[in-house]
Structure 1
Amino acid sequence: MAPLIAPIAKRKNIVIVGAGFGGLAAAQALAEAHADITVIDRRNFHLFQPLLYQVATAALSPADISAPIRSVLRRQANAHVMLDKVTGIDREKRVVLTEGRRAVPFDYLVLATGARHSYFGRDDWAPFAPGIKTLDDATRLRARILLAFERAELETDPAARRALLTFVVIGAGPTGVELAGSIAELARKSVTRDFRSIAPGDMTVVLIEAGPRILPSFRENLAQAAAQSLEEMGVTLRLAQPVTEVTAHTVTISGRVLPAATIIWAAGVKASAAGRWLGAETDRAGRVKVGPDFTTAGEPDIFVIGDTAACVDEGGKALPGVAPAAKQAGAWVGKLIAARLASTREPKPFRYRDKGAMATIGRKSAVVDLGRIRLTGGAGWLLWSAAHVWFLIGFRNRFSVATSWLWSYLTWERGARLITGQEIARARAPDIPIRQQDAA
């Protein structure tokens, strides 16, 4: 009688949708797993979103803060990358549906699809007040900002020129604060030296916040230090003044109409369509409500992480929508799936380790809250710079960003002042039809 041979276990299919911080962390945690991993993303690169605003304000180029997904995972033999857009999920057939009419089977599914802008029910404002979540958003905004300077250089009407040189940022969280500070530097130092008709005093940068102070997630003393730094840079703060109307050329706050050519939205986000794909329960921002193991009700093999998930810890505190939280969740989910595949002990329950918060206000100032360590000014800026360079993927990116920042610090130059996609920029930022009688 022939000896019995144990059948070889079939390799499981793990599909990860989204190659952001959470998705990549999950894939990398599964490097040794006996499974086939498919990473699906609509773009072929991983993006370091915390520095997107620097692309939008011409401090960095897009290549400085991005890396091809295939390059990141090239040494991981069990990982495959698919460039496609997910359109739905068939939970019964256990397949992910894509725009390319593919049906990708899965045994385990990880959704890390991120978030987009939320206009709190006023989506009609979106064409006039774009936000930045993607490289396309950032390069369009960069073109819009730089075109405002170009048009102002040629404008002879004082009111129209004043509107062209008014930049409004709505929302004073970290992104809004960093944008306002970077635009102020760009407008008052870097750009005006290259023009003949524009003086630094012609620029107006306004930061609007509906709440009583900027940086509401930071300690109050740090937020006050940031506010002081912004005001020293010439940024006008409008606090406790919600926006009531946005048009192509104006922002209305407290009954006052403010003419402005460039309006930027940094006030809120909403989750991707993952909740609709799953038919799962979501919160007001569209995030999928998940359990402590990041699974949805009745689906132990489907995980939702990052900005797509609404997760609370043991104390009932919501997991923040920041990169470190997404990375930690992705790594933990990857380890959990690997343990289940290998029938080994599962990792300890997930616990978010808050490593602190940082926000930069300009080339020499930042606020840093690391718990017991709190820094402001130049010391905070140095730590902020070192941390962001360190967490960039790839030596080339780190070297390029560090070199660009050093050059900019020494010379005030911004080498990425390129206007690309002019047709899109002009469509988003039409000429300002403001004359003297309208400015009264």
Structure 2
Amino acid sequence: MSEEQRHRVVVVGGGFGGLNVTKALAHADVDVTVVDRTNHHLFQPLLYQVAAGILPPGLIAPALRGVIRKQKNARALLAEVTDLDLDAHVVRASGPDGRPLELPYDTLVVAGGATHSYFGRDEFARYAPGMKTVEDARHLRDQILLAFEMAELATDPQERAEWLTFVVIGAGPTGVELVGQVAELAHTVLPQDYRAVDTHEARILLLEGAGAVVPPFAPKLQRYTQGRLEAMGVEVRLHSLAVGMDGESVTLKGPDGEETIRTRTRIWAAGVQASPLAAQLAERTGAGTDRAGRIEVNPDCTVPGRPEVFAIGDMVSLDGLPGVAQPAMQEGKYVGKLIKARLAGDERTAPFHYFDKGSMATIGHRAAVADAFGMRFTGVLGYTMWGFVHVLYLIGWGNRLGTVYTWARALTFSHSRGHRIITFEQAHERAFRGPGPVEAPVRGPSRAG
């Protein structure tokens, strides 16, 4: 087969799903093009540690070109996908300077991931940013650090209390991990750094609409998580929904009615919405979508009526699988093997089978919950398992060793955070523009898929 006739695979998204498809095709007789809105592969499970100032972004976001540099049949493009022309077998995209790109394909894999969902209240995005990208984590880090800096400057007790009040909305694993880090910053890391303000006075709230924190976990782990958070000084509000926000407050509706809490820092961790590419695929194939906008795919991850088009990761609805890293990774490997089998003339199609390796979430230093191997772990043991698994899935030994070293330095020996960087310009922008992006939270592929 000549070079010009090689089978062309276009992969949209360089997250867990897209990258695993690409790596699975390393030795196949194909040409792979990975197109993404960023130039890096983001390890999202540790993104909250960038927001907390523990890790620098580079350790969890290696350059995508560097990740696939040894794979001679793959290339990466920095562009935003604008159209999926399934009839013409062409992906249309736009480069950073606006130039149009056309990427013809024989097989298409769409792994667009997901973004924040505000459940129809997109105006909340201005006041309560979420965290799906490196930019999101940096914004959150700026906002959290700004709050303590402004509390140091405040002379009015009420204003100071507002700056020292932090509200995290959503008590899933991401919300629990974020609120735990805010508590550790306020109560362990920062008290000796400030003079005019006692950071122990910080009020930290976690709001959850369900009746328990980390709802996907077993009741035993839920109880441990809530108890640990409360011991760290976090106010856990269950059966409580955010129903209103402005620049200086959040209004919640709980069992006792509505309550307005004065706060300058709100963090959204309550829901996700599939990439807009899922809706585009669904419209053009007649496939259904669920409440989160995820496209319903066939058991082999193809979209209805289009055997040459696969959709994987957080943007798909398949067997009720959660939108986390493991399903995306396993789907990516499965699709890569299926493409190679087809090229070899094997038309047999075994449906995708997910192997559940368990769930984990960290609460704070030396405290985590893990549900794996049919057993449940908490405390130091759970924390050790969580750390080992997360380091194992980082890309590159340099990043793994760098992360372990940074953890040891920040969490064990110095009890500090080495990446608490903020400038006057950043603080000025945050103080006057608010905590979140001005734009509505609608964007293209994120990094999870």
TM-score (normalizing by structure 1): 0.93
Matched, 1:42 2:37: yes
Offset from partner CA, 1:182-224 (integer Å, 9 cap, x none): 1100111112221112214311110000111101000001110
8 A contact 2:128–2:266 mirrored in 1: yes
Partner of 1:243: 242
8 A contact 1:128–1:428 mirrored in 2: no
In structure 1, stretches of 5+ residues that fail to align are 1-5, 313-317, 431-440
For residue 361 of structure 1, give the secondary structure of its aligned residue in structure 2: strand
Hey, what's the Cα distance between the residues in 2 that align with 1:139 and 1:8?
A: 43
Say what the alpha-carbon RMSD is for the aligned residues.
1.6
CA shift for structure 1 position 358 = 0.3
Partner of 1:410: 413
Matched, 1:283 2:318: no
Offset from partner CA, 1:393-439 (integer Å, 9 cap, x none): 11111111101111122221100001154454334437xxxxxxxxx
In structure 2, stretches of 5+ residues that fail to align are 436-449
For 2:259, the aligned partner's letter is R
Partner of 1:177: 176
Hey, what's the Cα distance between the residues in 2 that align with 1:285 and 1:16?
A: 22
Partner of 1:303: 310
Hey, what's the Cα distance between the residues in 2 that align with 1:384 and 1:303?
A: 31
Of 209-218 and 187-196, more deviation after overlay is shown by 187-196
Partner of 2:261: 258
Hey, what's the Cα distance between the residues in 2 that align with 1:271 and 1:106?
A: 23
Say which one has the larger Rg: 1
For 1:331, the aligned partner's letter is K
Of 124-133 and 267-276, more deviation after overlay is shown by 267-276
Alignment equivalent of 2:365, drawn from 363, 366, 369: 363
CA shift for structure 1 position 242 = 1.4
For residue 192 of structure 1, give the secondary structure of its aligned residue in structure 2: coil
Matched, 1:99 2:94: yes
Hey, what's the Cα distance between the residues in 1 that align with 2:336 and 2:372?
A: 27
Partner of 1:116: 115
For residue 193 of structure 1, give the secondary structure of its aligned residue in structure 2: coil
8 A contact 1:140–1:424 mirrored in 2: no
Offset from partner CA, 1:157-193 (integer Å, 9 cap, x none): 0111001001100000000000000110011111222
For residue 54 of structure 1, give the secondary structure of its aligned residue in structure 2: helix
Alignment equivalent of 2:354, drawn from 347, 352, 364: 352
CA shift for structure 1 position 238 = 0.4
Offset from partner CA, 1:135-158 (integer Å, 9 cap, x none): 000001100110111110010101
CA shift for structure 1 position 7 = 8.8
Offset from partner CA, 1:217-247 (integer Å, 9 cap, x none): 0000111001111011001100111121122
Equivalence map 1:64-213=2 (5 Å):
64-100=59-95, 101-213=100-212
Q: How many residues were matched structurally?
A: 420
Equivalence map 1:378-389=2 (5 Å):
378-389=380-391
TM-score (normalizing by structure 2): 0.91
Offset from partner CA, 1:105-162 (integer Å, 9 cap, x none): 0110000111000000000111100000000000011001101111100101011100
8 A contact 1:189–1:200 mirrored in 2: no
Percent identity reads 47
For 1:271, the aligned partner's letter is A
